[in-house]
Structure 1
Amino acid sequence: MSNYPYIPHTDEEIKEMLDVVGVNSLDDLFSDIPAEMKMKGELDLPKSKSEGEVFSYLSGLSKKNKSTADLACFMGGGAYDHYIPTAIHHITGRSEFYTAYTPYQPEVSQGTLQYIFEYQTLMANLTGMDYANASLYDGQSAVAEAAIMTAQMSKKNKIAISETADPQSITVLRTYAHARGMELVIIPRDGMVTSLEKAKEILDETVGTIIVQSPNFYGYIEDMAPFVELAHSQKKTYIIQSTDPTSLPIMKKPGELGVDVVVGDGQALGIPLQFGGPYLGLLAFNKQFLRKIPGRIVGQTEDNEGRRAWVLTLSAREQHIKRERATSNICSNQGLNVLAATVYMSLLGKTGMKEVAYNSTAKAHYLYDELAKLDKVKVLTDKPFFKEFTIGFDKDAEEVLAKLEENGILGGINLSKINKDLGNGLIIAVTEKRTKEEMDKFVETLKEVL
């Protein structure tokens, strides 16, 4: 048998596979890996443990994590600690939803097709766009996929994205653009928002796409109208708005502003933080992009008995149809996350989602106002914000965050790690879950540590 009893293959099976590949040993198989990169000696694993012992050991490891059940969460940057109604967990656990994996066989996946159809409708209504797809992996890949889609439509080779967008989105987009031979240009910020003047300098006939995030990564609301006008002043130049979907019930819809494509992360729509994922990439768009989108469109029809039914109407990007000509070969329907977002939006409705937005905004402004009163807190801008804002101070941010955690508070994002030019400070998010007591404790702790 193999030296590693947890590997199921026998020595004979391993030799047979190596013979097919045409090498003599496992060392030969991995000969391309430099010797200094290879592990020396045995793996540091116990020889054997019972199932009960393994479960107990892993449970002990998991308890070392601190979650939002242990800390009052003021961290944001695209993932937020919103309240998730318990009904969502019950509905997503229904067998007609979670067992119907593929939407390609409508006769056995009506549950999946129905909630995708409902999700598309709700998301199109929320954003004010013609259509929405289902769906993408997360907000960052949604930015990249939308940028490539619009660049292909424009037949131009340059993409411009604001410096105030999510840094991870910029990094992912840079990878996509490099792989496709496209040029990525960063529009500099002016304070804590995008510089319109710099955007005007950058825009020429070679730019096919402009991307602006609002509310932006620092929490501030961008004035989208001038950027829409600027993009559309050039022939076949499109504008993408990356946004927080929870802001849309109380803000002007991107579709009303003339935005071409809307992207974002749907995590705030009833999806747990889950230590970083999986999440839900949003993509809503105007009709002209319908056959260029990554993802799929579900439509409503009737069966042979005249009953309402759902089918996969459009899957122009799917690799099983177009393969190398597919729009995208990495996007996948985040099934249960789409379902959770659909249930969340349906359950709260227009009134409930407005309440979440208003409460988050009111509480964020309360905390901001209280922090601004502290002598050693720097107000970095007076621009309007939604549920997230940025403050500065002279003390090392890691020391401040450590003190906040000691007091049961997950304090926010270290500003200097995002942009060293902005110095020490925090990007702070406030949702409807945060209480006055938690916010007051945040203020008192910060006052003490500063």
Structure 2
Amino acid sequence: MRYIPHTPDEIKQMLSTIGVDSVDKLFNGIPEPLKMKEQIPIPGPIHEKELLELMEEMGNQNINLAEGKNFIGAGSYYHYIPTAISALISRGEFLTSYTPYQPEVSQGTLQAIFEFQTLMCELTGMEVANASNYDLSTACAESVLMAERVNKKQKVLVGRSVHPHYREVLRTYFKNLPTEIIEIPFSKNGGIDTDFIKDNLDDSVSAVLLQSPNYFGVIEDLKPIGDIIDSKPALFIVATAESMAYSVLTTPGDVGADIAIAEGMSFGLGTNYGGPYLGIFATKQKYIRSMPGRLVGETVDKDNEKGYVLTFATREQHIRREKATSNICTNQSLCALMGSIYLSLLGPNGLEKLSLLNMHRLQHLQKLIQTRKSSAIKFNGPKFNETVIELSLPAKDAVIYMLKDKIFSGVDLSTHYPELDRHLLVCTTEMLSGLDIEVYAERISKFL
């Protein structure tokens, strides 16, 4: 959208039309003490060359992940992005597309979304997937809302080992709703407390939401939990922050999940200052009419040629608000396209090899840490590409110390888990070499 400033005469005419004699009068509702009396100190105009140099200078104040060694994960994973992705999504028909309301002129976009849905069903082992949510945090909230639509209950059990940011978003969604959110503690091995689920799962529970691998990197044993939940009205929601793990772990569909949600940023999106990301949302066929978002379906036209259309679109802008299954309206198809291209480039075998490489990198790190202090790995449950290291000093001190060598050492867990004030959440991906991991182990040993 172009910005066209108003001339003084145009401003005067508009103010006259609404019966106001100055722009300041439009802000009478703001108390005087809150208004700035002086001009904002913005420098005057400069020419293009100086502007670009200024922006570059400001940008250089940021720390670029490519300039250091990144061991931070926690829902934002640093993976290699094939150059083909940026080339393909930069095509005008993809980059500028919005909701494909007119299928006759949107077949390419619709097919891309349909292929994404198919890929997500294959990854999750579920029967149907939508055309994405904002990210996993919103998918968590939308999945609980969906469960309440299905079984008309308003109590949810949520693992405390679910990403704390996702739980914050969940609480924000339900702040003014009667839904009761009960957090499930984690056990000594970092996995979920199954006994707590057994003791608190009754017919009043709408959903049980667990993350695997969980926030601490531990892979949950979900099949027995799925069997327990199956005997109750509650829906079983399985969340995955590192969706790359799908290629080597048992799928949510195979452990009895009713809803599978995930963060798809690992599939070619990059860290991007925390977004935009890609919320994956899949479920069983029988719940399709309660699922948020939209679905693209494959059909044939009057000439029996294959075509694609919006099959379900139950957002508030499509139907009556009180009947809508979601009021998230922003189109995520560009992010979904990036994920589809990434998965198509790697293929099933390539994705599995990459996932195993991530796992092997973590195993290498854990062995090096344990040779220096056998008890330094906090949780002994199985892991994918993240682990928790127990330190003898505050984790924030280790983060500052390692940053001097441009090593982004991990996430200080004390912010969200006060009882883990000397613990660091560490991640390894294919972007780290064996030597990088050895250097890290040597540096962090100062704090073990």
Does TM-score exceed 0.5, indicating one fold? yes
In structure 2, distance between residues paired with 1:201 and 1:18: 66
Q: Which residue of structure 2 lines up, in the alignment, with residue 296 of structure 1?
A: 294
In structure 2, distance between residues paired with 1:404 and 1:256: 41
User: 1:331/1:166 Cα in 2 relative to 1: closer, same or farther (>3 Å)?
Assistant: farther
8 Å contact 1:136–1:331 — kept in the other structure? no
Q: What's the TM-score, normalizing by structure 2?
A: 0.93
| 1:60 shift after superposition | 1.1
RMSD value, Cα: 2.1
Q: What's the TM-score, normalizing by structure 1?
A: 0.93
Q: Which residue of structure 1 lines up, in the alignment, with residue 85 of structure 2?
A: 88
Q: Which residue of structure 1 lines up, in the alignment, with residue 389 of structure 2?
A: 391
Q: Which residue of structure 2 lines up, in the alignment, with residue 63 of structure 1?
A: 60
Encode CA deviations 1:149-184: one digit per residue, 9 max, x unaligned: 111211001122110001011011111112333221
8 Å contact 1:295–1:333 — kept in the other structure? no
Q: Which residue of structure 2 lines up, in the alignment, with residue 239 of structure 1?
A: 236
Q: Does 1:41 align with 2:38?
A: yes
8 Å contact 1:293–1:317 — kept in the other structure? no
Percent identity (aligned): 38
Q: Which deviates more, 316-325 or 332-341? A: 316-325
Match for 1:340 among 335, 338, 356? 338
8 Å contact 2:134–2:332 — kept in the other structure? yes
> Which one-letter code corresponds to 2:413 in the other structure?
L
| 1:34 shift after superposition | 4.6
8 Å contact 2:113–2:336 — kept in the other structure? yes
In structure 2, distance between residues paired with 1:222 and 1:20: 65
Q: Which residue of structure 1 lines up, in the alignment, with residue 161 of structure 2?
A: 164
In structure 2, distance between residues paired with 1:241 and 1:19: 58
Encode CA deviations 1:331-378: one digit per residue, 9 max, x unaligned: 433121100100111111110010111000011111011112223973
Q: Which residue of structure 1 lines up, in the alignment, with residue 70 of structure 2?
A: 73
Q: Which residue of structure 1 lines up, in the alignment, with residue 105 of structure 2?
A: 108
- Correspondences of 1:178-197 after superposition (within 5 Å): 178-191=175-188, 192-197=190-195
Which stretches in structure 1 are left out of the alignment for 5+ residues? 1-5
| 1:322 shift after superposition | 2.9
Q: Which residue of structure 1 lines up, in the alignment, with residue 378 of structure 2?
A: 380
Q: Which residue of structure 2 lines up, in the alignment, with residue 362 of structure 1?
A: 360
8 Å contact 2:377–2:387 — kept in the other structure? no
8 Å contact 1:413–1:427 — kept in the other structure? yes
In structure 2, distance between residues paired with 1:425 and 1:33: 46
| 1:137 shift after superposition | 0.4
8 Å contact 2:162–2:211 — kept in the other structure? yes
In structure 2, distance between residues paired with 1:448 and 1:422: 19
Q: How many residues align?
A: 444
User: 1:297/1:36 Cα in 2 relative to 1: closer, same or farther (>3 Å)?
Assistant: same
Q: Does 1:138 align with 2:135?
A: yes
| 1:400 shift after superposition | 0.9
Encode CA deviations 1:8-41: one digit per residue, 9 max, x unaligned: 2345544555566676655554444454544442
Q: Which residue of structure 2 lines up, in the alignment, with residue 3 of structure 1?
A: none
In structure 1, distance between residues paired with 2:162 and 2:336: 24
| 1:439 shift after superposition | 0.5
Q: Which residue of structure 2 lines up, in the alignment, with residue 155 of structure 1?
A: 152
Encode CA deviations 1:92-116: one digit per residue, 9 max, x unaligned: 2233322432211112211111110
> Which one-letter code corresponds to 2:93 in the other structure?
E
| 1:402 shift after superposition | 1.8
SS of 1:379's equivalent? coil
In structure 1, distance between residues paired with 2:279 and 2:179: 22
User: 1:97/1:48 Cα in 2 relative to 1: closer, same or farther (>3 Å)?
Assistant: closer
Match for 1:224 among 212, 222, 229? 222
In structure 2, distance between residues paired with 1:14 and 1:445: 63
Encode CA deviations 1:306-346: one digit per residue, 9 max, x unaligned: 33221111112342333343111124331211001001111
8 Å contact 2:99–2:331 — kept in the other structure? no
SS of 1:45's equivalent? coil
User: 1:32/1:395 Cα in 2 relative to 1: closer, same or farther (>3 Å)?
Assistant: farther
Q: Which deviates more, 376-385 or 160-169? A: 376-385
SS of 1:83's equivalent? coil
Match for 1:413 among 397, 411, 414? 411
Encode CA deviations 1:251-286: one digit per residue, 9 max, x unaligned: 111101110001111000111111111000110100
Match for 2:399 among 398, 401, 408? 401
In structure 1, distance between residues paired with 2:20 and 2:287: 49
Q: Which residue of structure 2 lines up, in the alignment, with residue 312 of structure 1?
A: 310
SS of 1:390's equivalent? strand
8 Å contact 1:401–1:411 — kept in the other structure? yes
8 Å contact 2:185–2:193 — kept in the other structure? yes
